[in-house]
Amino acid sequence: MTATETPAAARRITTAKAMSEGIALEMRNDPNVFVMGEDVGAYGGIFGSTTDLFDEFGSERVIDTPISETGFIGAGIGAAVEGMRPVVELMFIDFYGVCMDQITNHMAKIHYESGGNVNVPMVLMSAVGGGYSDAAQHSQCLWGTFAHLPGIKVVVPSNPYDAKGLMISAIRDDNPVLYLFHKGGQGLVWMEKNPRSIAEVPEEEFTVPIGKAAVAREGRDVTIVTLSLSVQHSLDVAEQLASEGINVEVVDLRSLVPLDTETVLASVAKTGRVLVVDEDYRSFGLTGEIAAVISEHDPGMLTKPFRRLAVPDVPIPYARPLEQGVLPTRDKIAAAVRELMA
Amino acid sequence: MNELNRLDLYKQMVRIRQYEARILQEYHADKSPAWDIGAGLIPGEMHLSAGQEPAAVGVCAHLKKGDAITAPHRPHHFALAHGVDMNAMTAEIYGRLTGLSHGKGGHMHLFDPDNHFSCSGIIAQGYPVACGQAMAFKRQGTDHVAIAVAGEGAANQGAFHESLNLAALWNLPVVFVIEDNDWAISVPRSHSTANTSNADRALGYGMPGVRVEDNDVEAVFEAAGAAIARARNGDGPSLLEIHTLRLWGHFEGDAQAYRGADLDTVNDRDPIPRYAATLTELGDLTEDDVATIAAAADAEVDAAIEFATSSPEPTAADALDHVFA
Ligand SMILES: Cc1ncc(C[n+]2csc(CCOP(=O)(O)OP(=O)(O)O)c2C)c(N)n1
């Protein structure tokens, strides 16, 4: 079918395809954009983030690297410093350990250390999240770790539309942007997926602003502040609880750095009850940050004590009952909301 | 150096193959109709070692109780050849309480302190740990050795290079084993590594390096024997690169479209029938033996799977244990 036969708006694609479309558009627009990472070439990225790019742009602009993350992420930084716009993939965020110096001491600090004289316009994209028994070294989210470090913008799309719009914004941004996509939200054929991982996305280019949260569902009783795959779970729960007469508002943060505190505060001001759902570790992270934002603004906004649901400070275990026991599943989200309403 | 026992090498290779073939079946059995990596009795990623048996069997034939191995994401062959209990390992792969790690680790995180065996899913990160184990063995005055195993793809990771230097500098009893199966997921060696021989790289770090061609278990046995004896005698580290074969996908579910013509001949290069033919020619093996050896292996595997599937599953509350000692 050609594009003229299908109205653009009716076209439905996966999050993975939306990411690669965003990259492709910018590669066509700007010869400085190129892609590198492990298995991003003919394979199309282990989680589909570079689907079809190799066929269109070839091995000069879509580069398979050795398993040398310090080397190729550092090379991305160097190329960015010289005016290119690399999109570099770290296959799983869990592998940050082998390349963290380049990320935090170089990618994140060069602009500041240079007194604003050097830019690092680079996108580092990486897969996050668990739920399919990939165990402790392949299931983490870790966005809180990166958001804690000054100098890196952090975006975390939850659906195909935002995935494309945020990718284009990230590539155009003059700062390093860490783009974290959840494996379970990619719409992969080989993993259980929420229907929300496939959605209508315009074919043409558009942007989603970095630093702007979205109200994914309006409600008046309770606010769920969340991100990434947990947005999909929270929307499912909201639909389910509507039949029990509980009216849930879901705020999809979309960006952690910068954090859209205004949208969060406006929602909490309306509902007076908040649950933060985070697939990252509980302590010293996003959930605590949102609690701080609310209490610094006006603790009196809350009619019920602040609630959070996150991974209870243990590594992600392998066996299904163990993993499901620590992840913020729909059941746990629903239970936490009901308690807030009790 | 242990003496060559061809039949033992063959039996151990068959034992590993029958194990992997059965795990392959079990892994795929309940993931349909819509194939879902997280579904079934064995969920998650699965990297099987079929085709790479000669590496594990040839090396481990020289190890004794107390010697250490650090293995990568593809660990089953080295675990079994090093004496990790098949029942406990299988139960771990099934995520059961009776597993090596009570279901916390899974197939990429097999820990057997009794046999000083461990593995990691982060590429090349077993190398430094093996150096540390070797350091301990040396300081404790034992003649134990540590074997650090990883693929050729791992040899481009910083930890590999740092470890080679450390081991040579401190004269550690380590043997670095590189299983060159031509592929790192979809990336062929020619696209990842400028130097065609890791044995040559070893020389640059001040240790001997040997490359074994043809996935030949007896050649591995010979070369590993020399390297391990050298380490045991206090003469320092060495590197052994084994040209081996990834018979199946990188992980289960890998369609291997990138593999092209390499796939056409892959079954012809299977090291097990080839070794059976060699032994038959030497008069060391009959057709009956082939069947008996396979049947014995199958019986052991059946028992391990029965042990795993009849073991209890952990509960959510168990997830909170073992964060600290
Ligand atoms: C630091 C790190 N980077 C990337 C990966 C993802 N990964 C897992 S296996 C693999 C390929 C490994 O190739 P090789 O070392 O040759 O071993 P093989 O899989 O062929 O046995 C990659 C890139 C990882 N686990 N860790």
pLDDT digits 0-9 by tens, A52-72:
999 999 999 999 999 999 999
pLDDT average, residue stretch B205-215:
98
Q: Do domains A10-200 and A214-341 have the same CATH topology?
A: yes
Residue A332 has pLDDT above 60, yes or no: yes
Bridge partners (DSSP) of residue B185 are none
pLDDT average, residue stretch A333-338:
98
Chain A residue numbers touching B159 (CB-CB < 8 A): 98
Q: What DSSP line would sit under B119-171, residue for residue?
A: E-SSTTTHHHHHHHHHHHHHHTT----EEEEEEGGGGGSHHHHHHHHHHHHTT
Cβ B116 under 6 angstroms from ligand 1 = no
Q: Quick check: B320 and A312 CB within 8 A?
A: yes
Binning pLDDT at 50, 70 and 90, where does residue B293 land?
very high
**Whose CA is closest to B69, among B85, B53, B81?**
B81
pLDDT average, residue stretch B189-206:
96
Query: How many Å separate Cα B93 from the centre of its chain?
Result: 15
Judge whether A98 and A149 are in contact, CB under 8 Å: no
Q: Which of B93, B185, B201 to mutate to test the interface with A (most CBs of A within 10 A)?
A: B185
Judge whether A219 and A188 are in contact, CB under 8 Å: no
What is the Cα–Cα distance from A62 to A42, expressed in whole angstroms? 9
What pLDDT, on the 0 to 100 scale, is given for residue A4? 44
Chain B residue numbers touching A319 (CB-CB < 8 A): 95-96, 103-104, 106, 313-314
Mean pLDDT of chain A: 96
Q: Quick check: A190 and B35 CB within 8 A?
A: yes
Binning pLDDT at 50, 70 and 90, where does residue B61 land?
very high
Least CB–CB distance from A324: residue in B103, B154, B316: B316
Residue B181 has pLDDT above 80, yes or no: yes
Residue B58 has pLDDT above 70, yes or no: yes
Check: complex ipTM more than 0.95:
yes
* SS3 (DSSP) at A72: helix
* SS3 (DSSP) at A213: coil
What pLDDT, on the 0 to 100 scale, is given for residue A8? 52
Q: Quick check: A138 and B45 CB within 8 A?
A: yes
What pLDDT, on the 0 to 100 scale, is given for residue B100? 98
A316 to A326, B104, B105, B320: CA distances (angstroms): 7, 8, 9, 10
Which of B:255-314 have CB within 8 Å of A? 257-258, 313-314
Residue A7 has pLDDT above 90, yes or no: no
Å from A193 to nearest chain B CA?
A: 9
What is the Cα–Cα distance from B112 to A300, expressed in whole angstroms? 54
Residue A1 has pLDDT above 70, yes or no: no
SS (H, E, C) A139-183: CCCCHHHHHCCCCCEEECCCCHHHHHHHHHHHHHCCCCEEEEEEH
| Residue B29 CB neighbour total at 10 angstroms | 11
* SS3 (DSSP) at B179: strand
Bridge partners (DSSP) of residue B177 are B149, B240
Q: Structural domains in chain B? A: 6-33+46-311 (3.40.50.970)
Judge whether A118 and A300 are in contact, CB under 8 Å: no
Chain A residue numbers touching B258 (CB-CB < 8 A): 42-43
pLDDT digits 0-9 by tens, A165-213:
999 999 999 999 999 999 999 999 999 989 999 999 999 999 999 999 9
Answer yes or no: A148 catalytic: no
Provide, rounded to the nearest whole percent, the portion of chain B with pLDDT above 90.
98
What pLDDT, on the 0 to 100 scale, is given for residue B94? 98
Per-residue tokens: B125: 């990160």
pLDDT average, residue stretch B290-318:
98
What is the Cα–Cα distance from A31 to A57, expressed in whole angstroms? 11
Cβ B126 under 6 angstroms from ligand 1 = no
Beta pairing class for A12-14 and A198-200: antiparallel
Cβ B73 under 6 angstroms from ligand 1 = yes
What is the Cα–Cα distance from B50 to B56, expressed in whole angstroms? 11
pLDDT digits 0-9 by tens, B102-151:
999 999 999 999 999 999 999 999 999 999 999 999 999 999 999 999 99
Cβ B50 under 6 angstroms from ligand 1 = no
Determine contact: A89 vs chain B, CB below 8 A.
no
Determine contact: A102 vs chain B, CB below 8 A.
no
Residue B179 has pLDDT above 50, yes or no: yes
pLDDT digits 0-9 by tens, B239-253:
999 999 999 999 999
Chain B residue numbers touching A50 (CB-CB < 8 A): none
Determine contact: A83 vs chain B, CB below 8 A.
no
Least CB–CB distance from A38: residue in B185, B316, B318: B185
Counting atoms of ligand 1 from 1, which one is nearest the CA of A39? 23
Please, what is the angle between helix B158-169 and helix B126-139, to 10°?
A: 20
What is the Cα–Cα distance from B202 to B209, expressed in whole angstroms? 5
Mean pLDDT of chain B: 97
Q: What DSSP line would sit under B267-297, residue for residue?
A: GGG-HHHHHHHHHHHHTS--HHHHHHHHHHH
Assigned CATH topology for domain A214-341 = Rossmann fold (3.40.50)
What is the Cα–Cα distance from B153 to A38, expressed in whole angstroms? 11
What pLDDT, on the 0 to 100 scale, is given for residue B131? 98
Nearest CA in chain A to B46: A134
What pLDDT, on the 0 to 100 scale, is given for residue A169? 98
Nearest CA in chain A to B313: A321
Q: What is the pTM of this model?
A: 0.97
What is the Cα–Cα distance from A87 to A179, expressed in whole angstroms? 10
Query: How many Å separate Cα B82 from the centre of its chain?
Result: 9
| CA dihedral for B77, B81, B87, B92, sign (positive or negative) | negative
Find the helix or strand (DSSP H, E) in which A223 lies. Answer: strand A222-226
What is the Cα–Cα distance from B1 to B226, expressed in whole angstroms? 7
Candidate from B70, B120, B123 with most ligand 1 atoms within 8 A of CB, to mutate: B123
Q: What DSSP line would sit under B69-88, residue for residue?
A: EEE-SS-HHHHHHTT--HHH
What pLDDT, on the 0 to 100 scale, is given for residue A5? 47
**Whose CA is closest to A333, among A243, A236, A267?**
A236
What pLDDT, on the 0 to 100 scale, is given for residue A3? 41
CA angle (B251, A76, A278) in 5-degree steps: 60
Domain spanning A10-200, CATH class:
alpha beta
pLDDT digits 0-9 by tens, A266-297:
999 999 999 999 999 999 999 999 999 999 99
| CA dihedral for B220, B222, B226, B231, sign (positive or negative) | positive
Determine contact: B196 vs chain A, CB below 8 A.
no
What is the Cα–Cα distance from A168 to B313, expressed in whole angstroms? 45
Provide, rounded to the nearest whole percent, the portion of chain A with pLDDT above 90.
97
Domain ranges of chain A: 10-200, 214-341
What pLDDT, on the 0 to 100 scale, is given for residue A291? 98
Binning pLDDT at 50, 70 and 90, where does residue B33 land?
confident
* Phi then psi dihedrals of residue B308, to 5 deg: -65, -50
Determine contact: A283 vs chain B, CB below 8 A.
no
What is the Cα–Cα distance from B149 to A185, expressed in whole angstroms? 34
What pLDDT, on the 0 to 100 scale, is given for residue A9? 56
What is the Cα–Cα distance from B56 to B79, expressed in whole angstroms? 9
Query: Given A111, A138, A182, A233, which residue is catalytic?
Result: A138
* Phi then psi dihedrals of residue A164, to 5 deg: -75, -45
**Whose CA is closest to A287, among A314, A264, A271?**
A264
Query: How many Å separate Cα B305 from the centre of its chain?
Result: 20
Per-residue tokens: B310: 């009849």
Q: Whose CA is nearest to atom 25 of ligand 1?
A: B122
Helix, strand, coil share (%) of chain B residues, nearest 5: 50, 10, 40
Cβ B183 under 6 angstroms from ligand 1 = yes
Bridge partners (DSSP) of residue A155 are A179, A255
